[in-house]
Chain A
Amino acid sequence: MSKAFVAGTGMTAFGTFPDRRGRDMFAEAGLAALDDAGLGPEDIDEVFYGNFIGTLAENQGHQGPLAAEALGTTAPSRRVESACASSGLAIRDAVRAVRSGEADVVVAGGMERMSNMGTAGATDGLARAADDLFEIRSGVTFPAAYALMARAYFDEFGGEREDLAHIAVKNHDNALVNDHAHLQEEITVDDVLESPEIAAPLTLYDACPISDGAAALVLLSPSYAEEHGLDSGVAITGSGHGGDTMALQDRQSLATAPATRDAAEEAYDDAGISPDDVGLVEVHDCFTIAEVLALEGLGLYSYGEAIGAARRGETCRDGDLPVNLSGGLKAKGHPVGATGAAQVAAVRNLLTGTHPRADAVGEDVTVGLAHNAGGTVASAAVHVLEVTR
């Protein structure tokens, strides 16, 4: 299949901005992406905008046109909602539009504003990514859902809380130089182990923060890029999307993420690569255990092996396979609807050398992966990015 050039990236700082309206945050990110690409609003064919709970947080439905307006256009637009995978799937739809030949210049991104809801309100809102009838009504919060998977993982494959704590420490450490990160705070394994329990066995430091923010990409068709001399040097060459049952109780295994596996296999096939080709990864670590499930689902580790990867140093900056050099959701922050786009932006900038952690990327690395998960991985989006010159 053809590729989609990533011509521009933009993001707001991720953090706590309860007074900033979503349209303003998306304008900042989207206009930065356009500037980065050297294009203007008049060039945009279509806008794909990821957002999860804007109907609750901002009392706002039908957000697509607002997202387009924020970029200075009334081009056709839509909101894509798939919980935490909203903008990963907005990107997938954007890539399809470019590949089909129906669009040459698209903006794909997303925004979430949650801190204005307070901790209880945001906990309530985030729980909506689970099954209302069979999970929310049985007291399952979002941290609780991942806690259920963490305990099932320990039971099936082994591992302990300290293994998870090393993932949090690594991702916090990676974010220290990232000025767009929500948490620039060095932590220790003991800090994680001793932080308050949210949903046992997970504690506060196993969880990503409740973040506000926006991220955006400008994607181009190869013909447009060639015609206008805009080969940005990095393109999305593979895209995959996997699905699973909404509720955990309906799954065969509670300790694996088959939707990630399916999305990854599709994306690898699409790009014509194998997991061995991947040199850096941004994965969906909304909770520490989620990084483990992701690495195994992506085929980068065998089942039961990724739990110790950070503790052994393999996924650290100087390890064989750096994971979440941006700080991940854990420390960079997780404005839900913006996360998938921020991950692809990070991979692109790590590959082009413009990311603050790009010095950790080996010179021989030409393939990066972005993995975005929705709910308890009932939705997964995987994108392969490759250096094109």
Chain B
Amino acid sequence: MTDTQDGSYDAFLDALEAGDGYYYECADGHALVPPRRVCPHCGDRELERVELPETGSIVTHTTVAVPTPQFEDDAPYVTAIATFGQVKLTGILRDVDPNDVEIGQEVTVTIDTAETTDDRTITFDRHS
């Protein structure tokens, strides 16, 4: 959809794609998805880079039937929020029957491209 480069965001996607996912943790223990310069919860700027756990757990999900034009050819698709240790990520759960998705299921994260636009998208796979 967009050619815009979003430097540090793209670097984060690169890391997820390479299997080197990470997140930040502030001194107060708040877990933050990069890119961040400062913790929005407490203002701490001393963010420590922490390795992202390999598997996450679905905390909520939806099956989108009416998409935005950017996902026209992808629908219906499952978008989920999964928690990887302390940090949560939002992504599309690929290759699943929506009826089989449940809270608590384990997933891994990677990067795939949306069918409609070829844009890179945070993507989950069911962990077997």
A residues bordering B, Cβ < 8 Å?
Answer: 119-121, 123-124, 127, 133-141, 143-144, 147-149, 151-152, 155, 196-202, 245, 247-250, 254
Contacts and interface: CB of A to CB of B under 8 A. Distances in A.
Interface in B20-76: 32-33, 40-41, 59-72, 74
A137 B122 contact: yes
Contacts of B9: 133
A136 B68 contact: yes
A119 B66 contact: yes
Interface of B: 6, 9, 32-33, 40-41, 59-72, 74, 77, 79, 81, 88-92, 98, 103, 114, 119-122
Contacts of B122: 134, 137-138
Contacts of B66: 119, 123, 141, 143, 198-199
A134 B33 contact: yes
7 contacts: A127-B68, A139-B121, A141-B64, A151-B103, A155-B59, A199-B65, A200-B62
Contacts of B67: 123, 139, 141
Nearest to B98: A200
Given A120-B69, A248-B90, 10 more contacts: A134-B90, A135-B90, A138-B90, A148-B60, A148-B81, A155-B59, A155-B103, A198-B66, A248-B88, A250-B40
Contact of A139 (B32, B33, B64, B88): B64
Q: Which of A127, A141, A149 has the most CB of B within 10 A?
A: A141
Contacts of A202: 62
Given A138-B91, A250-B88, A197 B63 contact: yes
Contact of B77 (A120, A137, A139): A139
B90 A247 contact: yes
Contacts of A119: 66
Contacts of A137: 119-122
Given A120-B72, A138-B90, A148 B79 contact: yes
A143 B63 CA distance: 10
A140 B90 contact: yes
Contacts of A136: 68, 70
What 4 pairs between A and B have smallest CB-CB spacing? Answer: A147-B62, A152-B60, A249-B88, A200-B63
B25 to A, nearest CB: 13
A151 B61 contact: yes
A249 B92 contact: no
A121 B72 CA distance: 12
Nearest to A118: B69
A144 B64 contact: yes
Contacts of A121: 69
Contacts of B72: 120
B91 to A, nearest CB: 5
Contacts of B92: 138-139
Nearest to A200: B63
Nearest to B61: A151
Q: Which of A121, A143, A144, A147 has the most CB of B within 10 A?
A: A144
A375 to B, nearest CB: 14
A144 B79 contact: yes
A198 B60 contact: no
Nearest to A149: B60
B120 to A, nearest CB: 8
A144 B98 CA distance: 14
